[in-house]
A and B are shown apart, each in its own frame.
Chain A
Amino acid sequence: MPRPARYYALSGALLLIAALGMRTLPGVSGFVVRVLIALALCLLLAGLVKAVRSDACDDATPALRRRYLREFLPPMVGYVVAVFLSVWLLKRVEVPVLRALIALLPVPAIALAMRAIVRRIRDADELQRRIELEAVSVAAGCVSLGYLSAGFLQLAKVIDVAASDAMIWVFPLTCIVFGVAKAALGRRYS
Chain B
Amino acid sequence: MDSRVRELREAQGWSQGELAERLAVSRQTVNAIETGKYDPSLPLAFRIARLFVQPIESIFHPADH
A binds B: yes
Query: A60: which B residues are within 8 A, CB to CB?
Result: 26
Bin chain B's interface residue count.
Answer: 10 to 19
Number of A interface residues in the complex (CB < 8 A) = 15
Answer whether residue A160 sits at the interface, using C-beta atoms and an 8 A cutoff: no
Query: B21: which A residues are within 8 A, CB to CB?
Result: 61-62
Given A61-B20, A189-B32, A190-B31, is A128 in contact with B38 using a C-beta cutoff of 8 Å?
no
Query: A128: which B residues are within 8 A, CB to CB?
Result: 26, 28-29
Query: A188: which B residues are within 8 A, CB to CB?
Result: 37
Whole-angstrom CA separation of A62 from B20 in the bound complex: 10
Interface positions of B (Cβ within 8 A of A)? 20-21, 24-29, 31-32, 37-38, 40-41, 44
Q: Considering residues B20, B26, B32, B41, which has the most beta carbons from chain A within 10 angstroms of its beta carbon?
A: B26
Interface positions of A (Cβ within 8 A of B)? 55, 58-62, 124-128, 186, 188-190
Contact of B25 among A55, A61, A190 (CB under 8 A): A61
Q: A65's closest neighbor in chain B, by CB?
A: B26
Query: B24: which A residues are within 8 A, CB to CB?
Result: 61, 125
**Residue pair A126, B29 in contact (C-beta under 8 Å):** yes
Name the distance in Å between B27's Cβ and chain A's nearest Cβ: 4
Query: A55: which B residues are within 8 A, CB to CB?
Result: 27-28
**Residue pair A125, B31 in contact (C-beta under 8 Å):** no
Query: B25: which A residues are within 8 A, CB to CB?
Result: 61, 125-127
Name the distance in Å between A190's Cβ and chain B's nearest Cβ: 7
**Residue pair A125, B32 in contact (C-beta under 8 Å):** no
**Residue pair B37, A59 in contact (C-beta under 8 Å):** no
